[in-house]
Chain A
Amino acid sequence: MNGRDATRDVLLGLIPIALLLAIWQGTVSLGLAPPTLLPPPGLVFMRMAQLLATASFNQEILATLFRLFAGFSIAVVLGIAIGLAAAVSPAINAAVRPVVRVLAPLPKVALYPALLLLLGFGHESKITLVAADALFPILLSTYYGASTVEQKLIWSAMAAGTPPREILFKVILPGAAPSILTGCRIGLVISCIVVFLAEMITSTDGLGHVLITAARTFQAVDMFVPLITISLLGLILNGLLQAVRSYLLRGFPEV
């Protein structure tokens, strides 16, 4: 894709977002919803700019980001490790498969009350929930990617003198990288959702907590600010991951 195409795609991508904002503004202007309950977007963005200048709001963002990163990182490490191990060892695969099949479809948020009781209201319970939810897409895509690495790549490396125990890191891991990074992308989006959700359910800080506090006190403007903030954070984080992905996969076709 050349620069011109990229610019065009960005512009095309902005159209639906502009439309959404227009519908939002229209709903308020036409009096379809009372402004006290649905504030106009301009007001929300002004409030957001105000809040971003305050230390306390930035503290909330940092709390959310910390949980998100910690949970996502644990999911990446565990997901890649278990996925690779299951792909190269039939015994580990046999052991892991049933557990994954039972746990993957389980709504992890249902574990949250138990996690709260076990780990308390602080970071630990939320990080655990994020990790548990982001783990499975990363694990499954790592397993799939590692199992489908071209046999002849492995043979080529073995013929060149690579010992079998080094094949995992020299061929299978880099060969599975496209699939692993796709899993990470899905895991990152899930992490954004789940950290917010956990903070909404029970928390003393974080963006989800800000939203739920504002909602309970009918401060509609303050309610929309964390919503927009987490969306923008997700956009930025996805962009960063995409940059990492483009760099790591620069040799692979169709990134």
Chain B
Amino acid sequence: MFVSDVEKAASMNLMPSRSDLKAEAAPAAKPTIAMIEIDHVSQVFQTSSRQDHLALSDISLTVDDGAFVSILGPSGCGKSTLLYIVGGFVAPTRGTARMKGNPITGPGPDRGPVFQEFALFPWKSVLGNVMYGPRQQGVKAAEAEAQSRALIEMVGLKGFEHFYPKELSGGMKQRVALARTLAYHPAVLLMDEPFGALDAHTRTRLQNDLLNIWERDRKTVLFVTHSVEEAVFLSDKVVMMSRSPGRIRQIIDIDLPRPRRRTELLLDPRYQKYVVDIERMFDDAGDDELQP
């Protein structure tokens, strides 16, 4: 559907580590892998008054391997539903979603969700939560524990291994949720407004930390948000959606250098222009409920 951002960025020599990796893996020009393809997907819900409500209307979208793509839109535009369809949690009414060319029929460890509500297992400690995935994948207990401890340290929660989720703040819970998902090595991270329930300060810190973690292995990320700044700051590509019915309004490539530093970016006129342009586009359409 569109050119790979990764390759574009690589050709601009902005992402040396990735282009090095690619050169090793495939010396010849390698065709872009479409990690996720959403193909003419529509979703109809029945409302309580038994009327059909078109939540998603004919959505087609391709997400390339290693891309950070945000889905941005007002509440009720179906952006979370779209994520749940990719996750395999919800079956689309029409159309298909594919992962590496295979139709998605249910959840699987190749697609790891991170929810706004954290959804940690309250009966398990931090370590127990993070170890859950590897144990389900058949990793031996000792090995799963070692991996999990390393991940907990990576998300900045060393020393909290034996705490229960109820003893942690919202930001810490979301770090645990991220570690729990990363623990089973999904090829794609599906993030459903992961920082939406956090205060502004915590939110900023987690955005920075997420980018730092993402820079290490460049997993494909599909990130749902209603914050324009968050979408521009994090993404290679912003998919703007409108509601009633939920459709893709426009897809915008974010050509900002990586690794990104928030403090530098805020002063960068290119960043400011992206934010303002996107906000104007939503304004013109009369969509409210977007965060500046």
Binding site for B on A (CB under 8 A): 150, 152-153, 155-162, 171, 174-175, 177, 249-253
Closest-CB distance, A170 to chain B (whole angstroms): 9
Separation of A161 and B137 alpha carbons in the complex (Å): 7
Please tell me which stretch of B40-48, B101-109, B150-158, B251-259 contacts chain A, meaning at least 4 of its Cβ atoms lie within 8 angstroms of it.
B101-109
Closest-CB distance, A9 to chain B (whole angstroms): 21
Contact B121–A250 (Cβ < 8 Å): no
Given contacts A159-B112, A171-B121, A251-B124, 7 further A-B contacts (CB under 8 A): A155-B107, A156-B115, A157-B136, A159-B113, A174-B121, A251-B121, A252-B166
Contacts of B132 on A, CB cut-off 8 Å? 157, 160
Contact A160–B166 (Cβ < 8 Å): no
Separation of A155 and B109 alpha carbons in the complex (Å): 11
Separation of A175 and B107 alpha carbons in the complex (Å): 20
Contact with A along B95-130 (1 / 0, CB 8 A): 000000000001111011101010101111100000
Main secondary structure of the interface of B (DSSP, over half): loop
Q: Does B133 contact A (CB under 8 A)?
A: yes
Q: Does B78 contact A (CB under 8 A)?
A: no
Contact A155–B89 (Cβ < 8 Å): yes
Contacts of B112 on A, CB cut-off 8 Å? 159-160
Contacts of A161 on B, CB cut-off 8 Å? 108-109, 133, 136-137, 184
Contact B164–A160 (Cβ < 8 Å): no
Q: Does B165 contact A (CB under 8 A)?
A: yes
Q: Does B171 contact A (CB under 8 A)?
A: no
Q: Does B243 contact A (CB under 8 A)?
A: no
Contact B166–A251 (Cβ < 8 Å): yes
Contacts of A156 on B, CB cut-off 8 Å? 113, 115, 119, 121, 180
Q: How many residues of B contact A (CB 8 A)?
A: 28
Contact B136–A162 (Cβ < 8 Å): yes
Contact partner of A155 (CB less than 8 A), chosen from B119, B123, B125, B133, is B119
Contacts of B106 on A, CB cut-off 8 Å? 158
Contacts of A162 on B, CB cut-off 8 Å? 136
Contacts of B121 on A, CB cut-off 8 Å? 153, 156-157, 171, 174-175, 251
Separation of A157 and B113 alpha carbons in the complex (Å): 10
Separation of A253 and B173 alpha carbons in the complex (Å): 14
Q: Does B87 contact A (CB under 8 A)?
A: yes
Q: A159-B107, A250-B164, A251-B164 are in contact. Are A150 and B117 (CB under 8 A)?
A: yes
Closest to B121 in A: A153
Contacts of A153 on B, CB cut-off 8 Å? 119, 121
Of B87, B112, B123, B180, the most chain A CB neighbours within 10 A belong to B123
Closest-CB distance, A228 to chain B (whole angstroms): 38
Separation of A161 and B166 alpha carbons in the complex (Å): 25
